[in-house]
């Protein structure tokens, strides 16, 4: 069997990681612009990044060369609402209107992420996700974007990895806004994000010009079966008491099923009614399987990426199987890829065979799930270009396209051609 004929072969990027254009075009500050100093490796900041804001036409031509039929991007919220919750920056809106118009001209399906971690600074200073203001503003922001680009966009993701921007940003303090709050405060922030999601989905359904397909991109913190015991791994994967805010069910149960998982009794029935709005697919990002007590598959000398993440291709198969079993929705992989030790060779090219192998083995495991009848509708490689890897700065390269940050020169890596060959056969050559 093959992936379905209209399978979404995608690459992704996020505004704060690649756009740059620090204060250009009327953009305001976001929390990564303003709060990163001294908190990111090597003193790196995202003010220029890949300069995608100025080079986007060149970059979209690269997308065509990669052979993808879809592109996942995110909205820079501070580019749309730079000062307050009422003042729209029309120049910022036009940037995204032009972007999706060019994607349409190139025959590339846009997949729009509304929030990919770059909270406007003005909103943060007024309490941000700790307050109901963020919920109300996100509803308004969503309508502004839907009104502007939904004539070209039908695939929408409300949030990217709430596990990480809440857990890393507010619980352990490794990501912006670099805070360490109590469990009760984390529950309140989680509730506000979930409520904002529900309002955003309703706005998309109400105002979208094209019939919308809506989801959100969860992190899939899943566990591999040990000794062949799939049931044990399934139950542990969705046990919210195991890993709290980082557990898939903490977010996915309320947002995909309208239910509170064990450990989330702080969500009321009224909350769940506001949070839940039927979604069209189950989207998630996955790079590796998790490790927990009784679920440790590591061995001496096992392979790691340069993020020191274990390489476990089987996570693609089991995550699709587990997520479909629990939520019953078509599966979309919204991020998968690896950070590698990439550099330009003497021949002027970037040879990255490890990434090529990573892509082949992981997509092959996803195809195994599809072959067993699980409806898999898309796969997005992370990332389109090397970019600002949050607290890791520019030292970790995930891209299919190499970026020389000194000159902004782009070089297509060998792995991009591997990915293109997979796309050409719709995965039949795996």
Active site residues: 161, 335
* Contact predicate 146/203, CB 8 Å: yes
Cα(136)–Cα(128) distance, rounded to whole angstroms?
Answer: 11
118 burial type by CB count under 10 A (0-12 exposed, 13-18 middle, 19+ buried) = buried
Question: HSE (CB half, 13 Å, CA atoms) of 321?
Answer: 21
Residue with tokens 């093959």: 2
307 within 8 A of 339, measured Cβ to Cβ: yes
Which position has the token pair 């790196």? Answer: 44
- Of the candidates 152, 159, 244, 166, which has an alpha carbon nearest to the alpha carbon of residue 198? 159
Contact 251, 218 (CB under 8 A): yes
């Amino acid at each position: 069997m093959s992936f379905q004929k209209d399978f979404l072969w995608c690459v992704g990027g996020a505004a704060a990681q690649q756009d740059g254009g620090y204060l250009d075009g009327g953009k305001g500050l976001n929390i990564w612009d303003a709060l990163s100093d001294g908190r990111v490796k090597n003193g790196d900041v995202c003010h220029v990044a890949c300069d995608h804001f100025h080079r986007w036409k060149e970059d979209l031509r690269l997308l065509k060369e990669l052979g993808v039929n879809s592109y996942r991007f995110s909205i820079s919220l501070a580019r749309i609402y730079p000062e307050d919750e009422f003042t729209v920056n029309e120049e910022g809106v036009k940037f995204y209107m032009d972007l999706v118009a060019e994607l349409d001209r190139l025959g590339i399906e846009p997949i729009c992420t509304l929030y990919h971690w770059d909270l406007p600074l003005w909103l943060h200073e007024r309490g941000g996700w700790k307050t109901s203001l963020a919920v109300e503003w996100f509803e308004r922001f969503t309508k502004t974007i839907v009104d502007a680009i939904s004539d070209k966009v039908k695939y929408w993701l409300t949030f990217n990895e709430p596990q990480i921007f809440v857990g890393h940003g507010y619980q352990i303090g490794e990501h912006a806004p670099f805070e360490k709050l109590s469990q009760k405060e984390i529950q309140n922030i989680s509730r506000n994000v979930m409520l904002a999601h529900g309002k955003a989905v309703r706005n998309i359904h109400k105002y979208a010009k094209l019939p919308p397909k809506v989801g959100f991109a969860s992190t899939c913190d899943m566990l591999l079966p040990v000794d062949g015991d799939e049931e044990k791994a399934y139950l542990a994967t969705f046990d919210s008491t195991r890993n709290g805010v980082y557990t898939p069910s903490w977010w996915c149960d309320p947002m995909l099923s309208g239910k509170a998982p064990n450990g989330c009794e702080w969500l009321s029935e009224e909350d769940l009614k506001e949070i839940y709005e039927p979604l069209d697919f189950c989207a998630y990002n996955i790079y590796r399987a998790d490790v927990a007590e009784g679920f440790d598959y590591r061995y001496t000398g096992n392979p790691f990426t340069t993020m020191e993440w274990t390489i476990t291709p089987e996570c693609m198969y089991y995550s699709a199987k587990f997520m479909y079993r629990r939520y019953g929705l078509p599966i979309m992989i919204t991020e998968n890829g690896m950070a590698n030790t990439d550099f330009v060779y003497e021949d002027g090219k970037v040879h990255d065979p490890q990434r090529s192998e990573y892509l082949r083995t992981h997509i092959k495991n996803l195809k195994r799930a599809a072959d067993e009848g699980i409806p898999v509708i898309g796969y997005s490689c992370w990332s389109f270009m090397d970019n600002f890897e949050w607290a890791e700065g520019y030292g970790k390269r995930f891209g299919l396209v190499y970026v020389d940050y000194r000159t902004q020169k782009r070089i297509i890596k060998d792995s991009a051609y591997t990915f293109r060959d997979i796309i050409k056969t719709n995965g039949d050559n795996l």
